[in-house]
Amino acid sequence: VTEFELIYKLINTQTVERSDVLTGIGDDCAVLAVPDGYSLAVSMDTLVSGVHFPDSASAFSVGYKSLAVNLSDLASTGAMPAWISLSLTMPVADENWIREFVSGIFQLASQYNVQLIGGDTCSGPLSISIQAHGFVKKPLLRSGARPDDLIYVSGHLGDSALGLRAYKAEENIAEGCLKRFNQPEPRIELGLWLTQVATSCIDISDGLVSDLGHICEKSCCGADIQMASIPLSDEFKAYFNQQPDYITAITFGDDYELCFTVNEQHSAAIDAYSNQSGLRLSCIGKIRSSGSVCFLDHDNKIITINNKGFEHFK
Ligand code: ADP
Ligand code: MG
């Protein structure tokens, strides 16, 4: 078999088969049916070996994470995932590597009934681009935050930063943190629910400082955050002997939790959703009519943050 035949054989092991895919893999274009009354939400993210994941990461987790970060963008928009296309560039077509890689993608894809509908394959340094497509009626945007809205984040921040340290041969990194780095959970169900209550939303890929900064910029507002309200996992706190490194938690990113804003009147509904879903939702501060993103200590003094989070070309 040729390298291309090998790839087609392996990508054809997917189990999801949706009725809205009129033509899938194998023709020049995929042909797709968007349901009446919905808009199409589209997002693309690229992961480059040595930049977004360590060269030593397993093929399975590279596949899983490549899809997870894309589904996370659909989640923050409040979209229901439907289809993905995959552009795969790799140095050699190694059958075992590709099999593990696609099984990482397909495990997460089948969880959300997402079908791979096409893509492209090239030789070159390892890099993966996925385009994710989803359906949305009332999209959550970065631009809707209003003064006095409460600011929430889901889950915990910082675990993924610790997970990466395990690759740097650091010991005592909890299994849960490594899993968080390798297999972040896209908050799809939360995003869908938030379309009813949130005024704005973003997923935390580059760190809270930077990503909440995007909400403030697009919504023309500022934000006051109580540093002590930043949700940290027990593993994260234990690693730092209860003197947690908050700066890492708010700047490293790669958590793929959602940061969203709601009018105060919805705070009880947020608590109820959190209780019923088992997903921690923490109120961390408030939107201000002006200013920037400020992190405050116990005495409401501003904490200076020099590291603003991950940026390419810096
Ligand atoms: P073309 O030369 O027309 O671009 P290709 O040989 O690149 O065609 O692709 C043939 C079919 O295989 C197309 O339907 C394309 O979408 C699909 N395909 C190619 N590479 C991938 C991939 N990495 N993942 C999913 N589908 C792929
Ligand atoms: Mg092609």
- The Å distance, Cα 133 to ligand 2 centre, comes to 19
Q: 70 pLDDT exceeds 70?
A: yes
**Residue 110 per-residue DSSP state:** H
CB neighbour list of residue 33: distance below 8 Å, 6 or more residues apart: 20, 22
- The Å distance, Cα 40 to ligand 1 centre, comes to 22
Alpha carbon 228 to chain centroid distance? Answer: 23
Residue range 204-230, pLDDT digits in tens:
999 999 999 999 999 999 999 999 999
203, amino acid identity: D
Q: How far apart are CA 203 and CA 276, in angstroms?
A: 22
Q: Treating both helix axes as pointing N-terminal to C-terminal, what angle do 95-111 and 59-77 enclose, rounded to 10 degrees?
A: 30
- Which pair of tokens denotes residue 215? 């909400």
Residue range 245-265, pLDDT digits in tens:
999 999 999 999 999 999 999
Q: 54 pLDDT exceeds 70?
A: yes
- The Å distance, Cα 13 to ligand 1 centre, comes to 15
Q: Cβ < 6 Å from ligand 1: which residues?
A: 11, 25-28, 86, 88, 116, 118-121
Q: Is residue 108 a contact partner of residue 67, using CB atoms and an 8 Å limit?
A: yes
Q: How far apart are CA 279 and CA 153, in angstroms?
A: 10
Determine which helix (DSSP H) or strand (DSSP E) holds 154, and give its type and residue range: strand 150-154
**What is the reported pLDDT for 309?**
73
- The Å distance, Cα 129 to ligand 1 centre, comes to 13
Name the residue with the closest Cα to ligand 1, atom 12: 26
The ligand 1 atom at the shortest distance from the C-alpha of residue 24 is 14
Name the residue with the closest Cα to ligand 1, atom 17: 118
Determine which helix (DSSP H) or strand (DSSP E) holds 39, and give its type and residue range: strand 39-48
Q: Which residues surround ligand 2, an ion (CB under 5 A)?
A: 120
